[in-house]
Amino acid sequence: MKGIKKFKIDTKELSQKEKVLFKKLISAAELMAPLYLKQKNNKYPGANFYPYDATKEEIERAARKNPAILSSYTFVERDKTGKLIAIPYHLKFKKELKSISELLEEAADLSEDKNFSLYLRSRAKSLLDDNYEKSEIIWLKTGPFKFGFIIGPIERYLDKLFFKKCAYQSWVGFLDEQKTKEAGKFKNAILTGRRKILSGSEKAEISKLGIRIDRTAIFSGLIADFMFTGTNLPNDVKLMEKYGSKLTIFESSLESKFKGDHLPIFKAVFDKKFQKSYSEEDLYKGSLRCILLHEISHSLIRYRDAEERLKDLFPIFDELYAYILGIKNCGTLFLKGVMNQKELEAILIMHICRNFTWWLDSMKNPDVKHYAIGAAIAQNFFLKEGAMREKGGISWPNFTKLFICINELSRLLEYYLAVGSYEEAKEFIEEYSSFNVFKRFSSQLTKISKLK
């Protein structure tokens, strides 16, 4: 089914009642996909959220009179006179959302976790009125729940005009307690450090960060298209400041990405002699830690005015800086004995491989182009500063230089997110975002990317 990605997971640890509950959550998630597909449209920067004949300037003028035009939860359409009007999600999809809401109520009746039931009932109501704040607060203040479950309009990546409209998505899984405990060590080591705040910035301080690693059963909607390996929510900076944030690593998605993309790319673009120094286990741990550090770092880079200043460029800097700062924080982890030299090298190698992954993904799915642009910036920066050599592949990354580059790039990216102007950010992107840095490896990547 389009808009859905399922993973095989073992549910034997669930009771019979929990299995029934689990199936209802899966059914609710599946019903999200058709709504997402009605929002998606790769041929138009505003997807299906705005009329194709409406200019950005016309939409902005209409929004000054009617702020709902640029609400995160409305479609913009023309009435009979041609005037732009806002149609709330919950009205446009009233019938479909009622069915999903009923499934959540039924799941809530089955749950023996009172807080999880409360969250499900609140989310069921949110779907019917587009008021998601209350259910998000319940989710942030409680847990971790045994079941990993999110549903509703969340990420804004489809809206390339304004980065305002939220796309529907859902995921279902359950907690991997052992790996979550191990991930907590990384979180605690990083968050104990203090970072200097740039003068003049509107830094948001996130006081609390929850963390979990999930064995994921299903992705639906936007997340099925993007195949995220992790996420950090909520997106609302005000809520994050008051109630904290929660990050989730999707173990099933990560394993799929590692085996299907990261490992094959490593074998394709790195020198054969270099490859012998790293086992598959080393590299998988590096890939897991790379995304874990990225999501933890998202909580450290929130600026209240960043989206307003950087506009459509914000996702590029937000995602890239989280990756780069995560790797930079490895210095702290190395000094504290949380990781050794080989483990740090594996993280750096997997970051390079993930850069290639985003480029390949962007050719199939233009909605992830902001990730690919960020990846190109990092890769071009590393090459320009001499941190990598190429001769029949990446023959030997200079890890000392690479880490120096990470620190310098981190400093630049923080400036743009914290206080930089749109024009400055655009100039930086134009300087470093050429995809030629990836295209020179096209022959090695033919089997992976299907570029024939």
Q: What is the pLDDT of residues 241-275, one digit of tens each?
A: 899 999 999 999 999 999 999 999 999 988 888 89
Q: Is 15 exposed, middle or buried (0-12, 13-18, 19+ CB in 10 A)?
A: exposed
- Residue 198 in any domain: the answer is yes
Q: Please determine, for residue 413, whether its predicted confidence score (pLDDT) is greater than 60.
A: yes
- Residue 441 in any domain: the answer is yes
- Residue 277 in any domain: the answer is yes
- Residue 300 in any domain: the answer is yes
- pTM, to two decimals: 0.89
Domain that holds residue 331: 176-205+244-451
- Residue 196 in any domain: the answer is yes
Structural domains counted in the chain: 1
- Residue 255 in any domain: the answer is yes
Kindly state the average pLDDT of the residues 160-165: 95
pLDDT tens figures, 349-371:
999 999 999 999 999 888 899 99
Q: Which of 171, 204, 162, 167 is nearest to 41 (CA)?
A: 167
Length of the chain: 452
Q: Please determine, for residue 144, whether its predicted confidence score (pLDDT) is greater than 90.
A: no
Long-range Cβ contact pairs of 423-430 (< 8 A, separation 24 or more): 425/310, 425/313, 425/317, 426/313, 428/377, 429/313, 429/316, 429/373, 429/377
- Residue 432 in any domain: the answer is yes
- Residue 344 in any domain: the answer is yes
pLDDT tens figures, 170-226:
999 999 999 999 888 888 877 765 556 666 677 777 768 999 999 999 999 999 999
